[in-house]
Structure 1
Amino acid sequence: MTLPAHPIVLIPARLASTRLPGKPLADIHGEPMIVQVWHRAMEADLGPVVVACAEVEIAEAIEKAGGQAVLTRPDHPSGSDRIYEALQAVDPQGRHDAVINLQGDLPTLDPGIVRATFAPLADDAVDMATAVCEITDDEERTNPNVVKAVVGFSPDQDIGRALYFSRATVPAGTGPLYHHIGLYAYRRAALERFVSLPPGVLEGREKLEQLRALENGMRIDAARVDTVPLGVDTPADLERARNLLR
């Protein structure tokens, strides 16, 4: 079992945000937030990093910082569709055998979490990989905005097979619950298959895109990590990110 040899990190980004308009360009210590995320991705040191942009303003910010950006259609329904278009543009020859999909609103992300998310792909049977963190806040156990991953980790393992994802409090019984972190690593063929699939029944019910993969027999493994990265969705989140990076 060996990891894919030539991964690429793709960061989808668009300006449309109802709670924080222009979010990718929000200033954090003199740099747009999307540039801070690009820095974290570069620090993970897994491969080249490309930002898949819906607007030229984002591309200009990344290129000014010395990074690489690709303009994509503004009307993609999901980040997965956006990164797939970008992948075809930057690597039409198919050199990159794995893709890490990194959200563009995680400016304080620990690069170690990115590397941990990639690690499950060392198992040839795994199509996609993601990350989870044990829930320690009781409020999160019942909060539908906190997505739970159902993973049965063996006592001595930090990688396990994801059996389901839900906004409900699952699984039942005594034991830990896991907060799903929305980072993904795909084998290239798995990403190509995923974006070709129609939306799933459970995906529509839970409003969770990853269920499309499970409904179609794809295997997702999850890496257990110690912290949940701060996702910036509101002005208060933005101020927290500024404080953390100060």
Structure 2
Amino acid sequence: MTKRDILILIPARMAASRLPGKPLADIAGKPMIAHVIARAEAAGLGHVIVATDSEPILAAVEKAGRRALMTRTDHASGSDRIFEALDLADPDKAVKIVVNVQGDLPTLEADDLRAAVKLLDDPAVDIGTLAAEITNDEERFNPNVVKLVGSPAGPDRLRALYFTRATAPYGEGPLYHHIGLYAYRRAALERFVSLPPSTLEKREKLEQLRALEAGMRIDAAIVKSVPLGVDTPEDLETARKLLSR
């Protein structure tokens, strides 16, 4: 697999309910989206492009000397946005793997991004993602912390059986915090966005369940920690402290 085979897409929009305009929030002298781009580029996997519906985000990315694409304003999810951006960026369909990196992960580790893509070395895997063992008791019971329920599929690797906001599975043993980063085979992304929202997806409000309900295989690399997702003003202050060191 070469850099031409892999495209990293970062969906970014201004209309976040808890922290509007967060892609442009200043962190250590740069907008947050610039930090996410730098983290994605550090993985050395392939080209990195921002997919947005916002002219200010487009301008900020271009000011940083990077590429952004304007996409429609009516997408229901980041997956739909990156699928549109994929067709715009690669109309000849040369790209084989598409990585969806959320635009609010300014502390994402490059090694973790590489680990998600590495899962697709197994031809049976449709989608690669990430998980980290939960070590904080509060997270075990927090419905905002999505849990990955899976079977071991090798060292530091799980085959996903379910994703849930509940505390699961029951009994002794580790629980895993799902990290919402996805490496798709191109055909898997095409199939995924063509499917209607599934029963469990609508119930749990978790898009990735659509893939499992359709019989697609998702594997997760187990990583050491969860990158900070910036969703609130408090998260933003934490990011500023971490990245100003």
TM-score class, shorter-chain normalisation, is: over 0.9
Are 1:139 and 2:138 an aligned pair?
A: yes
Partner of 2:194: 196
* Pick aligned residue for 1:209 from 207, 210, 215: 207
Q: Confirm whether residue 153 of structure 1 aligns to residue 146 of structure 2.
A: no
What's the TM-score once normalised by structure 2's chain length? 0.97
Q: How many Å apart are 1:208 and its aligned residue? A: 0.2
Name the CA distance, whole Å, in 2 between partners of 1:185 and 1:96: 12
Counterpart Cα distance in 2 of 1:45 and 1:37: 14
How far off its partner does 1:5 sit? 6.9
Q: Does 1:70 align with 2:57?
A: no
Alpha-carbon deviation of 1:209?
0.1
2:49 corresponds to which residue?
50
Distance 1:29 1:229 in 2: 17
Distance, in Å, in 2 between the alignment partners of 1:35 and 1:186 is: 23
Structure 1 residues 3 and 136 mapped into 2: Cα distance closer, same or farther (>3 Å)? farther
Rounded to whole Å, the distance in 1 between the matches of 2:66 and 2:224 is 29
- 1:153 aligned counterpart, secondary structure: strand
- TM-superposition CA deviations, 1:190-243 (whole Å, max 9, x none): 000000000000000000000000000100011000000000011111111011
AA aligned to 1:230 is L
The one of 215, 218, 229 equivalent to 2:216 is: 218
2: CA distance between counterparts of 1:175 and 1:4? 39
Deviation of 1:108 (Å):
1.3
* Superposed structure 1 runs of 4+ greater than 2 Å apart: 2-5
1:3–1:119 Cα contact (<8 Å) kept: no
- With normalisation by structure 1, the TM-score equals 0.96
SS of equivalent to 1:84: helix
What's the CA shift for 1:158? 1.1
RMSD: 1.3
Identity %: 63
Given that 1:3 and 1:122 are in contact with CA atoms closer than 8 Å, whether structure 2 keeps it comes out as no
Residue by residue over 1:75-100, the C-alpha shift from the partner in whole angstroms, topping out at 9 and shown as x without a partner, is: 10000000000000010001110001
In the alignment, structure 1 segments of 5+ residues that lack a partner are: none
Q: Does 1:164 align with 2:159?
A: no
Corresponding letter in the other structure for 1:145: N
Which of 173, 189, 213 is the aligned partner of 1:175?
173
Contact 2:4-2:94 at 8 Å conserved across structures: no
